Structure 1
């Protein structure tokens, strides 16, 4: 079935929108699993994963209080994000951003990402106009990343443009979650229940406690989305996909400036980034891409 949307300025093939979102997330994702990231964080004096994660990802917003990061990231508990207190005293946001780029640069060379200079330039040709013309109203993380000066290395610069668009969809996803009255803990519980986010990783990184998870499960059960034992219902599976479709509809406006053909070409051009990190054994779980459906590119934000 050929699904289209006129949410943007022109009709977009929603399959192409979903596929490029998946490819973008997959190409961005390695930063959270590579050994180079904690190594660069350690050079700045931070050896714990949580504070380093929040510093790396928050750096484009500047030296914001942890409460601002909590608001922008949405699905994390306050006890999780509060761990970043003091990271700006250890190093400036600019130093954290430079360290993130250094980690990316080292990692893409270690796994030998097979993108030639011509392919990188070809990928930049559609992605740069999308970043330049995007509407950043209400898109906090995307706007912050779009303000970061691009690094000199072409492949790392491409990754940063990918990051802008990854965060753009994430910001749109937060809007949809809130509109559907799906709170921060609730969206985590639904994601793990539907099998789109490993529960062990969700619990270890988001730090929602048993009482909070139980309360979220009860709320979702009252809506008919989960059974009392936390397993999903057909209604819950359908609701989750509806939320993904609504997010895709927001993203249709993002991609209309370049059209379906260029969107599909971009998808194929950036796929080798994910392929190289997968081949290197980077991920402790299966990462869904444009070749595996359905999937949530933001995994509960």
Structure 2
């Protein structure tokens, strides 16, 4: 399980950069969408003309009002197919800007990542975002294939993560607060990007303090234990995808993935907006 988590973490920048790079915003704007409308429409387009309620449920941690400002109005401007194409093309352009196509071991890395992603399709139950993306055709371009493979693995893990949060009684806003308190992502960025009103944020934080998982603005010992449990369970639920590679395959993918993730970071593709 440790090797599988390393493989996912090291290759994850290849997918997640799409939420930060200017290539995405420019292409969405060319189609008539700006700001968060481009994000919600592009990521949910695999569902078809996704409703606001579907996105609220599957994306999990955005304030519902923010989602409703974007959907379903975006579908009066663009089609899901246009958004899928724009997102894929933006990802490829950004990754090529980072030199991903020149990193050694691309074909082997893609082979392992794709094998894991395809193995995940054998257990789609309870994983709506993954299932929607898994139904899309594989791109022909190698760089686009690598991005698609990691997109599938990310959504597979993400759906499992939400299942764990729900089972542990950690709501959407609770999850954001705990995430910020862990120090992984600046709380200020989470407040801005997820658009929860200050009074709702403060009330949820107070509830977490009463629950004993938050001590001031930081995680308590109980909170750290809860977060570790959530991450461990999420890792366990992601194992069916990586089990196809075996321990040696996961270790090899983790080894190969490092320079790909580093290239994305070094090119500044993950800079917070």
In the alignment of these two chains, the number of paired residues is: 269
CA distance in 1, matches of 2:52, 2:260: 31
Shift of 1:115: 4.1
For the pair 1:209 / 2:200, whether they are aligned, the reply is no
Structure that is richer in helix per residue: 2
CA distance in 1, matches of 2:90, 2:239: 32
Q: CA offsets, 1:14-60, max 9 Å, x none? A: 2112212212322211101111011101110112x211111111111
Which 4+ runs in 1 deviate beyond 6 A?
none
1:271 paired residue number: 258
CA distance in 2, matches of 1:246, 1:260: 18
CA distance in 1, matches of 2:107, 2:98: 20
Deviates more, 1:51-60 or 1:23-32: 23-32
For the pair 1:155 / 2:163, whether they are aligned, the reply is no
CA distance in 2, matches of 1:272, 1:94: 32
1:87 paired residue number: 74
Q: Is the CA contact 1:105–1:156 (under 8 Å) kept in the aligned structure 2?
A: yes
1:97-116 correspondence to structure 2 within 5 Å: 97-115=84-102
Shift of 1:184: 0.2
CA distance in 2, matches of 1:188, 1:53: 18
Shift of 1:242: 1.1
Q: CA offsets, 1:227-255, max 9 Å, x none? A: 2x332211111211111011111112221
TM-score after normalising by structure 2: 0.93
1:63 paired residue number: 49
2:114 paired residue number: 128
CA distance in 2, matches of 1:24, 1:110: 17
1:225-244 correspondence to structure 2 within 5 Å: 225-227=213-215, 229-244=216-231
CA distance in 2, matches of 1:139, 1:115: 33
CA distance in 1, matches of 2:168, 2:203: 18
CA distance in 1, matches of 2:64, 2:47: 18
1:41 paired residue number: 28
CA distance in 2, matches of 1:158, 1:186: 33
Question: Does the residue aligned with 2:50 lie in a helix, a strand or coil?
Answer: coil
Question: Does the residue aligned with 1:256 lie in a helix, a strand or coil?
Answer: helix
CA distance in 2, matches of 1:173, 1:209: 24
TM-score after normalising by structure 1: 0.85
Question: Does the residue aligned with 2:150 lie in a helix, a strand or coil?
Answer: helix
CA distance in 1, matches of 2:234, 2:180: 19
1:299 paired residue number: none
Q: CA offsets, 1:256-275, max 9 Å, x none? A: 12201111212232333321
Q: CA offsets, 1:191-231, max 9 Å, x none? A: 1111112112211111111111112112211221112x332
CA distance in 2, matches of 1:105, 1:252: 27
CA distance in 2, matches of 1:108, 1:22: 17
CA RMSD in angstroms, aligned pairs only: 1.6
CA distance in 1, matches of 2:141, 2:197: 42
